[in-house]
Structure 1
Amino acid sequence: MARTRSFYKDVLPVVVIIGNEFNDMGTLTLFKAATLQGMNNHVFLAYAYAVATTILLPVLYLNRRSRVLPPLSFSIISKIVLLGALGSTSQILGYAGVNYSSPALASSIANLVPAFTFMLAVTFRMEKLAAKRRSSQAKVLGSIISIAGAFELTFYKGPSVINGHTRLTSLLDQRFRFLKSDSEDAIWAIAGILLTADYFLASLWYILQVHILNEFPDELTIVFFYNVTATIISVTVGLLAAPNATAWKIGLDISLVSIVCSGIFGKLMSNVIYTWSVGLKGPVYVTSFKPFQIVIAVGMGVIFLGDTLHLGSIIGATIISIGMYAVLWGKAKEEIEEDVGSLESVTTENVPLLHSYISETFEKKTDGNV
């Protein structure tokens, strides 16, 4: 029983979260491939959320019939709608950023999420911060380093380290062939700003999830109403951004494959996994696995998209990773200090009882000997 509980709380979350990072970068790579073929990113997002909502509807119905769940109050629904607004806005900004750059840049800037999440957790008093403790100093310094790395990554592209050569690369080159080098750098910077805003909102999304799960601990219901809200918002934005009906026509090609995969594995499965993981381990723990996205995205981008890996991405990702691991080290040290403190407290509380027991035993033995 103890082994099963340990596996569920310690081993399973690690395996599931790392697998989900592969899942996220796979769907993001498919999205990039679809946009290079002419797919509008707003239309893509609207379709993906619609697919997830449609699939989740019968699943939610069966789930609510088989389980006894607390009633949905207006307060809970309002918070889930806010969660949907945050999530869909984050996705709109993120997909726009990837459309202007690459999944590799997105995965590098994703390392800001642990730092953003920590700062927000401190703001909302979910994390403790003591200025004189090394653990708190490490978390603060790590957050600052991560943000500095994101700025470097955004505003310095640098020379290419790995050049990609595929048909998709030629499509991208044709798309931007009228741009000069300065314009490309400006687009890269805009993409970095969009992605940074995306991941800040994503951090808020994690924090709000914890608050909602404390009141309503049902992941499927939360994800369903989240997807409904996100579908409404993304369809509205899509119609405003792409009013032409031809932009909404989907053929039997990579666009359809990417939409279906993103809806099932991204907007549905990934959100359920993140909600479950946040409820089990907390937002700071879940976001600590974001650096895995760098290796995954670079590999997929170079192999499948023909992306070019730039020196600025390597330097920025390294700086961000150093800052992120400083935050994690501070978090781990803080947990150790809390465990030691609680152990000392228990020991101190038990000392009078132990002393009393020894005294009574000694008195009884003394009386017997007399």
Structure 2
Amino acid sequence: TSKGVSPFVVLVYSYTIGSLLLLPFTVFSFRSRSLPPLTFSVLCNMGLLGLFAGISQIAGYNGIKYSSPTLSSAMSNVNPAFTFILAVIFRMEKIFLKKESSLAKVLGTIMSIIGALVVTLYHGPMLMSSRSGWVFGGSLLALQFIIVSVSNILMAHTMSRYPSTVIVTLVHNICVTLVCALVSLLAEKDNPKAWSIGFDISLIIIVAVGILNSGYYVVHTWAVSHKGPVYLSMFKPLSILIAAASTAIFLGESIYLGSFIGGILISIGFYMVLWGKTKEEKVYTSTIESSPSQKAPLLGN
């Protein structure tokens, strides 16, 4: 994008490359294992994943444009809170307020949301940035990560119906390509040169993004199907520190007091939810392990 290439065009080309790379793996997946029928409703689920991903990518790019990468990383840490709320609504997670683990998850979720509001709405003394669209950018980033949370829930449902990470990723990539192509045609209708890519750093970036995005989504899909959407969304907080340090060092961005305070609140909330989730898993594991020993005397009689 520093070379004048539209970010929407980058998305179109990179997801096209990712789709082409996945085609041979898709053929192998069909031949190597027995999969359930690829029904129209399953395809609609996969297509919806792609639609959500395309919208979230576009919102994310514009959110960073109007704010900063640091704010984007801070807002991404709200993803676990939104995912947890949706998982409770769709009964993928259970809440028992008398248990410490459930209480920690609820309080952690609330704290994460408060932290996100602080990051978005409060700058604090010092550091007034030259960017005037901080709240608008923060709102776009919030939209992005709400959509990501919805996608995590939908992905878990889709994988339960059609457990093939490669095929789900391929259909997802194709749909993202179509969504971004439509947006690009509208956004760049007066700038046909935006579609021309030279043999320079822009091409390298597009190929790299295509490969990395597809690889990431395959792993992401596999993890959701095996560990669930809430557990996967837990691993975010370090990104805020990395992004803040990187943008300050390499891009000369100011670090706002609001970003610092909000980041701390979000991270504390994250670790509260993670602690509650981990404790629940330990209780579940110990229950499973103790059940055979409890039944042994009955079998011996």
Report if TM-score (shorter chain) is over 0.5. Answer: yes
**Is 1:257 the counterpart of 2:204 in the alignment?**
yes
Listed as ranges, the gaps of 5+ residues in structure 2 are none
How far apart are 1:87 and its partner, in Å? 1.2
Query: Aligned pair in 2 of structure 1 residues 64, 344: CA closer, same or farther (>3 Å)?
Result: closer
Partner amino acid for 2:204? V
Which residue is equivalent to 1:298?
A: 244
| Contact kept in structure 1, 2:64 and 2:137, CA below 8 Å | yes
**Is 1:247 the counterpart of 2:194 in the alignment?**
yes
Partner amino acid for 2:150? L
**Counterpart mapping for 1:1-370 below 5 A:** 34=1, 36-158=2-124, 184-185=131-132, 187-243=133-189, 244-266=191-213, 268-342=214-288, 346-353=292-299, 356=301
Query: In the aligned structure 1, how far is the partner of 2:202 from the partner of 2:244?
Result: 22
- Provide the aligned C-alpha RMSD in A: 2.2
Query: In the aligned structure 2, how far is the partner of 1:242 from the partner of 1:296?
Result: 33
Query: In the aligned structure 2, how far is the partner of 1:221 from the partner of 1:118?
Result: 26
Q: Aligned with 2:206: secondary structure?
A: helix
How far apart are 1:183 and its partner, in Å? 7.8
The number of aligned residues is 300
Query: In the aligned structure 2, how far is the partner of 1:70 from the partner of 1:316?
Result: 45
- Choose 1 or 2 for highest CA Rg: 1
TM-score, with normalisation over the residues of structure 2? Answer: 0.91
Deviations 1:216-270 (A, max 9, x none): 111000000011111111100111122121222223444333222211112x111
Partner amino acid for 1:54? L
| Contact kept in structure 2, 1:113 and 1:203, CA below 8 Å | yes
How far apart are 1:88 and its partner, in Å? 1.1
Query: In the aligned structure 2, how far is the partner of 1:252 from the partner of 1:313?
Result: 38
How far apart are 1:141 and its partner, in Å? 0.9
How far apart are 1:342 and its partner, in Å? 4.5
Q: Aligned with 1:109: secondary structure?
A: helix
Q: Aligned with 1:184: secondary structure?
A: coil
TM-score, with normalisation over the residues of structure 1? Answer: 0.75
Query: In the aligned structure 2, how far is the partner of 1:343 from the partner of 1:254?
Result: 54
How far apart are 1:204 and its partner, in Å? 1.1
| Contact kept in structure 2, 1:41 and 1:96, CA below 8 Å | no
Q: Aligned with 1:143: secondary structure?
A: helix
Over the matched positions of the two proteins, sequence identity in percent amounts to 44
Query: Aligned pair in 2 of structure 1 residues 159, 58: CA closer, same or farther (>3 Å)?
Result: farther
Partner amino acid for 2:45? K
Query: In the aligned structure 1, how far is the partner of 2:288 from the partner of 2:59?
Result: 44
Query: In the aligned structure 1, how far is the partner of 2:288 from the partner of 2:220?
Result: 30
How far apart are 1:131 and its partner, in Å? 2.1
Q: Aligned with 2:110: secondary structure?
A: helix
Query: Aligned pair in 2 of structure 1 residues 302, 183: CA closer, same or farther (>3 Å)?
Result: closer
Query: In the aligned structure 1, how far is the partner of 2:294 from the partner of 2:223?
Result: 35
Deviations 1:13-70 (A, max 9, x none): xxxxxxxxxxxxxxxxxxxxx2x44332222222222221222223323443344433
Q: Aligned with 1:158: secondary structure?
A: coil
| Contact kept in structure 2, 1:41 and 1:99, CA below 8 Å | no
